[in-house]
């Protein structure tokens, strides 16, 4: 379900949350966007998503993890109160040797999820990447066959 909201003010009114993910491929830190503080800086009418030729607030976000400037943002329609948990449906996770994982892409679209998984594999085939639909594992780069 896609909503037609365009501005930060509308997102705020509708209780829509936004998630920001670090541009840095090595980092990919993600966090919830503090709409109140963004609106206080750029105003209610600022576009939610970047538009050509308009400076977007996401370019000014600085990653708290690696200090890289610029983060991807998207909306997460969700009434969950925990700001760390969005409801993306599909997640592409990257696993390290200690068994910790972090999401490198989260989306409601299966096609985008599969594309992101493939791109993640192309980027570094040695990585351990999984594609999940919520808790269900759909693809696993370390497994010969899943499902
Ligand atoms: Zn970062």
Distance (Å, whole) CA 18 – CA 135: 22
87 falls in which pLDDT band (50, 70, 90)? low
Please give the torsion angle defined by the CA atoms of residues 40, 42, 48 and 52, in that order, rounded to the nearest 10 degrees. Answer: -170
Cα–ligand 1 centroid distance for 144 (angstroms) = 32
Q: What is the distance between the alpha carbons of residues 46 and 43, in angstroms, rounded to a whole number?
A: 6
State residue 39's pLDDT score: 95
Cα–Cα distance measured from residue 59 to residue 41, given in angstroms and rounded to the nearest whole number:
13
Cα 53 to ligand 1 centroid, rounded to whole Å:
24
Q: Calculate how far, in angstroms, residue 23's C-alpha sits from the geometric centre of ligand 1.
A: 7
| % of the chain beyond a pLDDT of 90 | 22
pTM of the model: 0.49
The closest of 112, 108, 110 to 138, measured between CA atoms, is 110
- Domain boundaries defined on the chain: 1-80, 88-147
How far does residue 70's CA lie from ligand 1's centre (Å)? 9
Q: How far is the CA of 96 from the centre of ligand 1 (A)?
A: 17
What pLDDT sits at residue 145? 45
Closest to 78 measured CA to CA, from 15, 12, 5: 15
| pLDDT at residue 84 tops 70 | no
* pLDDT tens string 107-146: 888 888 888 999 998 888 888 999 988 778 888 888 754 4
Q: Say yes or no to pLDDT of 77 above 80.
A: no
Ligand 1 centroid–CA 66 distance in Å is: 4
- pLDDT tens for 63-73 read 999 999 999 88
CA of 27 to the centre of ligand 1 (A): 5
More confident residue, 4 or 63: 63
Element (H, E) at 106: strand 101-107
**Ligand 1 center–CA 79 separation, angstroms:** 26
Q: Is the pLDDT of residue 41 over 50?
A: yes
């Amino acid at each position: 379900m896609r909503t037609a909201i365009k501005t930060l003010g509308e997102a705020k009114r509708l209780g829509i949350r936004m998630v920001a993910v670090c541009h840095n491929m090595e980092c990919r830190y993600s966090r919830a966007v503090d709409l109140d503080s963004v609106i206080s800086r750029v105003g209610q009418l600022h576009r939610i998503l970047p538009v050509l030729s308009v400076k977007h607030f996401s370019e000014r976000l600085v990653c708290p993890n690696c200090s890289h400037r610029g983060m991807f943002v998207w909306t997460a329609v969700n009434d969950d109160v925990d700001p760390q948990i969005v409801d993306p449906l599909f997640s592409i996770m990257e696993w390290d040797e200690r068994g910790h994982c972090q999401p490198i892409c989260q989306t409601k679209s299966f096609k985008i999820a599969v594309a992101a998984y493939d791109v993640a594999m192309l980027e570094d085939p040695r990585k351990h990447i999984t594609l999940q639909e919520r808790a269900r594992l759909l693809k696993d780069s370390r497994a010969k066959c899943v499902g």
